[in-house]
């Protein structure tokens, strides 16, 4: 008597037929950031054994040799799976304003400290004279102790 259930030949034939079906390669456009990058996602499909969503972005630049791309922190967290939902436009604009405000504050602090930095640089630029001299050590090798 043959057992009802799985057959190895049926399993192989089913997988072969499924491999001939077209796969979904293009994803759904989820959003766009202030750098111009576009973000895509293919949702998970447990029927075919895909448990995680596929996420990626297409950079705004068209130069194929430019490998350095700006990605906002909110979208990067979404790409890496640290966020479940993509960031909203309000959240992106609010964080962009905070980033610009911090840049302005940093420029103001840099201007206020630039005068004190010049004094420190002048003190440090004396060279060998800024180091202490001791009579028991040679200043130049082979020149004797304490002699220049």
For residue range 7-63, list pLDDT tens digits in order.
Answer: 888 889 888 888 888 776 778 899 998 888 999 998 887 777 778 888 889 888 777
Query: Per-domain residue ranges for the chain?
Result: 20-86, 88-148
Q: Which of 89, 79, 84, 73 is closest to 58 using CA atoms?
A: 79
Residue 1 has pLDDT above 50, yes or no: no
pTM of the predicted model as reported, rounded to 2 decimal places: 0.56
Q: How many CB atoms lie within 10 A of CB 57?
A: 20
Contacts of residue 68, defined as CB under 8 A and 6 or more positions apart, other chains included, come to: none
């Amino acid at each position: 008597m043959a057992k009802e259930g799985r057959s190895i030949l049926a399993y192989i034939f089913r997988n072969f037929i499924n491999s001939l079906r077209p796969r979904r390669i293009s994803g759904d456009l989820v959003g766009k950031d202030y750098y111009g990058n576009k973000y895509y996602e293919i949702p998970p499909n447990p029927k075919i054994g895909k448990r995680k969503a596929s996420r990626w972005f297409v950079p705004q630049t068209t130069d194929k040799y430019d490998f350095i791309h700006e990605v906002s922190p909110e979208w990067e967290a979404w790409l890496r799976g640290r966020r479940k939902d993509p960031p909203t436009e309000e959240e992106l604009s609010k964080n962009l304003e905070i980033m610009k405000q911090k840049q302005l504050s940093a420029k103001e602090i840099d201007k206020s400290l630039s005068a004190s930095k010049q004094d420190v640089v002048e003190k440090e630029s004396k060279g060998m004279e800024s180091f202490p001299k001791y009579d028991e050590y040679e200043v130049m090798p082979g020149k004797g102790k304490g002699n220049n």
